[in-house]
Structure 1
């Protein structure tokens, strides 16, 4: 009797607390990711309701046997199994792992009827990121994909483990990556009562998650379509900016690819085909492609010449259709075979006279060109709010000596053309 009194009265609070701990759990609630729109209000990234079949590996003694039984009522192919096992190795064994994603209503109903046969398997309702205009905007919008080990390390380093406790996907490229903290939202929590099998019986207390914020891009859909049609799936990039305020109106890299394959879990075969493609669609040519600037550099050279007093606006140069350095026979040809005749700076820019700028570059010299173009931020990052931009090349005497251990030659100044910038650098 003394022992009973001790346990039921004296230790009542202690054992009641233990009992509640065993029966109650705190479960995180994933926030709804913010949407992404074009400047004219067209949805570029949305959240579609989905159902997935999820398993807790820790509670399954024989995974292969479980999969075999599930296949009797729901279609599960080898790629699903491969992805499941790969994800299982990356997660803790008590965490849920999706075995089949994007179940249709019939499959959900079939499993519900047979649910009593699978104590550690659940159909989980969630949202899948979807890109209605995927190929047209993938290089600007980017995509989300499953959180991997590197992502977990970054999340932990930032002290955001709790905020991502219910999140399976994270921004990997483009706006989705750059504005991850803005789009993600804040995790919610609910205190639930569970039975011996760990299933939720009732919700005791709930704090709703805060959805992520929506983002409106400056990209204009109609201009984007014109740029895409102009490239016609050929290799290249088109980027356009409003000079009045710096807004990016068009951002196209070609060829492209479908980001929805990544957000829903891309299979290895498709991923390898994208990696090995000769067209290199995964390269964002707007911020990673390096191209000679051609005639787009001519106005910059003109400004440098005016600032340094090398030329005035009215001074004319004779263009016979070619230019040669003194004492050299080699001719640097103009695009216009018969030449432009007498040409001043304004005419040279309007008609894109090569000979005028061959002479101008030679008169300026590599040192003044390098100094002048540096002031326009050539050879530096553009500051665009998309990660992974490559820095373009702005040649100089020091660069050539350092990289090639050679001196700079006058002919190289003539054909310099301003180096090899990435396309976005030319507009900002």
Structure 2
């Protein structure tokens, strides 16, 4: 046998292969070593540097912190009558992100639970406003039978659950709805505001927030403080046991200064007519009644109002959603004359005894301003000008004073100003001046103030536009002798557990410094209106002496050569009826201002409502049913029938379940 030996070249190749193999082994060993070092480094980092953080994460995977939403505080009137409260009910809710086929799921649920078209529309709207992982109600206020039917079939519906929730209810429905307001689901804009106010933690789990009125203004007090409950969870995320908890602190109750029986009486006296009334305590600024007609049912908004009801409210010519007492502006008409008289005395433009000849009209710059037809009132001094409501007297006075002098006097009284009432959404109205017109209009020819524009201001017409809140506040200031109080509707807050009350901090009153003699002149004129003037028949036989002034304000402008004829005008073009007053005249306890839209003469339609408010507040009398009916129809003067004691009037709460789901 012959054996061949490797050549030198082959030996060299073998040596090279062995060398490369050894190099590769070394590289692999180096890589393994580096990886091992990195692994040790990472392990050290996780075990030492991030130990606390990872331990917390692990604990969080084992535990969950659940928010406990506090019960919302109740709202009650000054006598403890509950106007907004909570009740518990079951809700069928869907988390869209956990449901594969949403439409099919809803259809199958409808076989177990009554789900109507409006429920589907509301759910669709909520989906558009919410995130997919939010739990959204498809039906609220389930019956016990519906709860039982779903519970038996719950396994078929992943992502669907029944939850027990507190629901807001307004037991008296439309009564005082503009004051109380309502709550609704938190929207994106409100979430941003909550975040900006650094209150996101306190609103965890909260789905509803105050949207209007006291519910909105006192949201922080009514909401309370959210509690937490730390629980241990299973691998499936279900709570197994409670570890620790901090109970929620219920929201505070809010006590209004409003007397809800008085509020109900006034709303009934308006009937189907539109208008507003504000009644104040002139010695404190407390709001005793705050009426805007027509009203609306706040229960409709709690779960999201349906399209039909929204269209009905939003598109109605009567504008039931408009808070006329707070946001409706009107020319004050002749109710402005007492303030003009006080302005004349204070500025020295007119003395109380100065005589003006009222011949029925007044001409300025070729324009004739009418007053009481063609007969006139003859010679009138200041008191007589108020009692007989002389237009000529105040045309002349306005011309003598000028627009800016009028503006500067009326501004501290609150005309055309924000009163500061504790309700959101107040409007300023218009107290005209040369500066106002210059800033309001854009074209130079519109910015100039013409002397003839001043004349109508004296009788509360022209550019003048104020709220009934402003007129009532100014009336209360005159009634108190010049002390101006900030109006408020909330009297106190109340601890939900101890019922201890804390009075709301008052804004210090402002003394406008009126001369008592000047106030006395105006008061004599206002008393004369109620004793021998335009409202004398209405207040005949009253057990107290009141002081007031009727007003009739144009809703549309009537031409110089035309005469007002209500029968030729549409309903919304007719004059407004106004009245401002306080009582008793010598020691006022209540002051008010009201307007009945497009009703005509203030003495016929507004003053009768004021008489019944004073009878209620000062004598405890509630009008008879026939008297209420006559007043609703504008056919009353002094009260008729046998009045009832106000304490005998039992309010009938509207059941939260009536007509609601």
The TM-score, its normalising length taken from structure 1, stands at: 0.91
Contact 2:99 2:158 in 1 (8 A): no
1:91 partnered with 2:136: no
Shift of 1:177: 0.5
| Partner in structure 2 of residue 408 of structure 1 | 449
Equivalences for residues 29-428 of structure 1 within 5 A: 29-325=68-364, 328=366, 330-335=367-372, 338-402=375-439, 403=441, 405-406=445-446, 407-416=448-457, 417-418=459-460, 419-428=464-473
Q: Distance in 2 between matches of 1:178 and 1:15?
A: 44
In 2, are the aligned partners of 1:119 and 1:197 still within 8 Å (CA)? no
TM-fit CA distance, 1:195: 3.8
For residues 129 and 336 of structure 1, do their structure 2 counterparts lie closer, same or farther at Cα, with a shift above 3 Å needed? farther
Question: 1:128 is paired with a residue of what secondary structure?
Answer: strand
Q: Deviations over 1:279-312 (max 9, x none)?
A: 1111111111111011121111111111111112
In 1, Cα distance between equivalents of 2:449 and 2:110: 70
Relative to structure 1, is the Cα distance of residues 323 and 204 closer, same or farther in structure 2, using a 3 angstrom cutoff?
A: same
CA distance in 2, matches of 1:226, 1:410: 45
**Rounded Cα–Cα distance in structure 2 between residues aligned with 1:146 and 1:254:** 26
Whichever of the two has the greater Rg, that structure is: 2
Q: After TM superposition, give the deviation of residue 197 of structure 1 in Å.
A: 4.1
- Relative to structure 1, is the Cα distance of residues 338 and 113 closer, same or farther in structure 2, using a 3 angstrom cutoff? same
- Check whether the contact 1:320–1:339 (CA below 8 A) recurs between aligned residues: yes
Shift of 1:357: 1.4
Structure 1: how far apart are the matches of 2:428 and 2:455? Answer: 23
Moved more, 280-289 or 116-125: 116-125
In structure 1, what is the Cα distance between the partners aligned to 2:249 and 2:138? 28
Equivalent-residue separation in structure 1 for 2:456 and 2:107 (angstroms)? 68
CA gap 1:14/1:137 in 2 versus in 1, 3 angstroms = closer
What TM-score do you get using the length of structure 2 for normalisation? 0.60
RMSD: 2.4
Mapped contact 2:77–2:83 kept (Cα < 8 A): yes
Which stretch has the larger CA shift, 171-180 or 125-134? Answer: 125-134
Q: Name structure 2 gaps, 5 residues minimum.
A: 1-42, 474-661
Structure 1 position 29, deviation (Å)? 0.8
Distance 1:386 1:209 in 2: 27
Contact 2:68 2:229 in 1 (8 A): yes
Cα 1:47–1:84 shift into 2, 3 Å: same
- More divergent stretch after superposition (137-146 vs 267-276): 267-276
Instruction: Say how many residue pairs are matched.
Output: 418
